[in-house]
Amino acid sequence: MEWLNRMEEALDYIESMMEEPLNINAIAKVAYSSPFHFQRMFFMISGMTVAEYVRKRKLTLAAQELAVSPSKVIDVALKYGYKTPESFSKAFRKIHGISPSEARQSGVSLKAFPRISFQLTVSGDRELDYLIEEKESFIVFGKTTTLTCGNEGRTRQDFWGECRRDGTIDDINQESISNSLLGLTLNFDEDFTYMIGRKEEVVTSSERLTVKRIPSTTWAVFPCHGSLPEAIQSGFHRIYREWFPATDYQHAGLPEIEVYFVGESGRSAEIWIPIVRR
């Protein structure tokens, strides 16, 4: 399948650039993809961000070099993108459990993180319902924060809890007549910007809330049924692992939106993905 070949070509390119700074735009270009789409797809399939993968691969190669060559630690650190021995040693110890200098000792155990490979798995256990909608530009107002991808740091659920406790969601509800709350992923990387808000017809002035205009675009809309947040998490995984590989669409690079319905039965949420044809 074409998308699989492109992802593998991007992995080949990543391997060839291990001694260079990480350049997401260049990697995504190899995959004929937007940076947002490539990074989101990579994370959903592999369970790690591109930056995390590259970091683990570089530290694997660095450990091998230290174990079999007389290269100085500082030279190896600089070769793989670390500006100081201290930053290299900290990252090295986090992966291997020992210092770079200890890696030279005979009989020391080192971690090896191999090059990954993408494979297509066809489950076919249940259908994935969706519809394509054209939507005009609209305004969202709410609160933004920076979150860390993966299991470290604050999560989306943590931020929702904070906004409930500090009155932010009450403020949003008071200033909007919309019957749904929105969660917006505004970009995607190891650290990404996330927003909780509501759709509004006009710009709302508020000291506590941020205003974001979403451009007119085409959306793939996926209904999510069941308990939250599991229904949303499952929905995103199926979209990136099953739906995108099976279609001619890719992510348009605009914010993706979780829509949480208030007081409605039969459905709990929707996922809106901005799309363009390849």
CA 247 – CA 245 distance, rounded (Å):
6
pTM of this structure: 0.85
Identical topology for domains 2-104 and 131-277: no
Q: For residue 139, what pLDDT band results from cuts at 50, 70 and 90?
A: very high
CATH code reported for the domain at 131-277: 3.20.80.10
Q: Does position 263 have pLDDT exceeding 70, yes or no?
A: no
The per-residue pLDDT for range 80-132, each reduced to its tens digit, is 999 999 999 999 999 999 999 999 888 888 889 999 988 766 555 567 899 99
Residues 225-252: tens digit of each pLDDT? 888 889 999 999 999 988 998 888 999 9
Specify the DSSP element, H or E, that contains 236: helix 230-238
pLDDT tens, position by position, 40-68: 999 998 989 999 999 999 999 999 999 99
Residue 101 CA from chain centroid, whole number: 34
pLDDT of residue 150: 74
pLDDT for residue 253: 92
**2-104 belongs to which CATH class?**
mainly alpha
- pLDDT in the model for residue 151: 67
Give residue-wise pLDDT tens across range 192-226. Answer: 999 999 988 766 566 778 899 999 999 999 999 88
Q: What is the pLDDT of residue 175?
A: 61
Contact (Cβ atoms closer than 8 angstroms) between residue 269 and residue 197:
no
Quick one: pLDDT at residue 232?
93
The enclosing H or E element of 214 equals strand 210-214
**Tokens at 196, concatenated:** 């909780």
Domain ranges of the chain: 2-104, 131-277
Question: Which residue, among 270, 98, 80, has the nearest Cα to 89 in the 3D structure?
Answer: 98
